[in-house]
Amino acid sequence: MPAFVLNSPFAFVPPPVNPANFDFHCHSSVSDGLLPPAAVARRASANGVDLWALTDHDDIGGIAEAAETAAELGLAFVAGVEISIEWRETPIHIVGLGFDHCHPSLVDGLEALRSGRLERAQRMGDALAAIGIPGVFAGAMGYVTNPNLISRAHFARYLVSIGIARDIAGVFQHYLAPGKPGYVDHRWATLADALDWIHAAGGVAVLAHPGRYKMSGGDMRKFLDEFKDLGGQAIEVASGSHSPDHVLHFARLARHYAFHASRGSDFHGPEESYVDLGQAAPLPLDLKPVWRLIC
Ligand code: AMP
Ligand code: MN
Ligand code: MN
Ligand code: MN
């Protein structure tokens, strides 16, 4: 029996034989998205998504609501998460798909990972106060929808609201990206931890939006070698944050490493995302879509 069925305690909508529009990367208000999981499910379905995963940052608390709503809509659903890791001092995101969301290794690992976020956020607030922007921690908390999951996106929304920059991208560029005054280093999970948790729970590990990392081509290959050695099976070739050149480049790397290919919008909310649900570029037809490993 495929892992998808084994790991699905929810009302089960069989995945399409040949999905026309799968979206395996997006966020709800359980992390730094703007919509609750049920609303994300409805929007995915309305946009023509026919196979969907919710992948909140470091938290799987939205899976049950997402799965229930997807079942009501007749939308095939896969459990997902986007895990924050650090590899050789570079923050990287690993998407896990098709796991048992009750597995203790995954549940406990994510809980430990989340617990550092509050203290990090306080240090970010202190760092911004030191350059003359006080009260940002409290302000950002006003945008938080899950007290266990405060993210830089919440800081960005508050800083835009007080006119520090015109838009979210501007805030990241000047204040919240690595090397900028509001950025503080943080101990995330290791690559091995994240893959262990995903694999223990029966899931598949996917490198999220590889085009987003400030890494040389050589470092990307070193990373992918390690990822593959540890059992990583797929990379996001089509992402809302990828340019057409990124899609071509990471398609080549997927072929080279014999990785499966994933696709996801990285939707966070209306008017706050690169693309809407279901609207990432199509995958090159010769690649092996990642849903084959879980459906
Ligand atoms: P954190 O997990 O707290 O480090 O926050 C990372 C989140 O910040 C990402 O998931 C995005 O939601 C957001 N983010 C990071 N970089 C950017 C950017 N350049 N533009 C817009 N949002 C960003
Ligand atoms: Mn985010
Ligand atoms: Mn990400
Ligand atoms: Mn994401």
Residues 39-61 pLDDT 10s: 999 999 999 999 999 999 999 99
pTM: 0.97
| Beta-carbon neighbours within 5 Å of ion ligand 3 | 93, 208
DSSP-assigned letter for residue 281: P
Domains of the chain: 22-103+187-293 (3.20.20.140), 111-176 (1.10.150.650)
pLDDT, average across residues 152-163: 98
Q: Pocket around ligand 1: residues whose beta carbon is below 6 Å from it?
A: 32, 57, 84, 151-153, 168-169, 172, 268
Task: Pick the atom of ligand 1 nearest to 186's CA.
Answer: 4
Pocket test for ligand 1, best of 151, 157, 158, 159 (most atoms within 8 A of CB): 151
Distance from Cα 55 to the centre of ligand 1, integer Å: 14
Which residues is 238 bridged to in the sheet? 263
Question: What separation in angstroms does the CA of 201 have from each of 7, 55, 160, 198, 253?
Answer: 9, 15, 39, 5, 27
Query: Is 79 a residue whose pLDDT tops 70?
Result: yes
Question: What separation in angstroms does the CA of 213 have from each of 100, 204, 220?
Answer: 29, 21, 9
pLDDT at position 236:
99
pLDDT at position 8:
62
74 Rama sector, left if φ>0, alpha if ψ -120 to 50, beta otherwise: left
Q: Are 49 and 25 in contact (CB under 8 A)?
A: no
Strand runs labelled E in 104-230: 204-207
* pLDDT-derived band at 187, boundaries 50, 70, 90: very high
Query: Is 7 a residue whose pLDDT tops 60?
Result: no
pLDDT at position 10:
66
pLDDT at position 3:
39
pLDDT at position 12:
81
Nearest CA to ligand 1 atom 2: 151
Task: Pick the atom of ligand 1 nearest to 168's CA.
Answer: 21
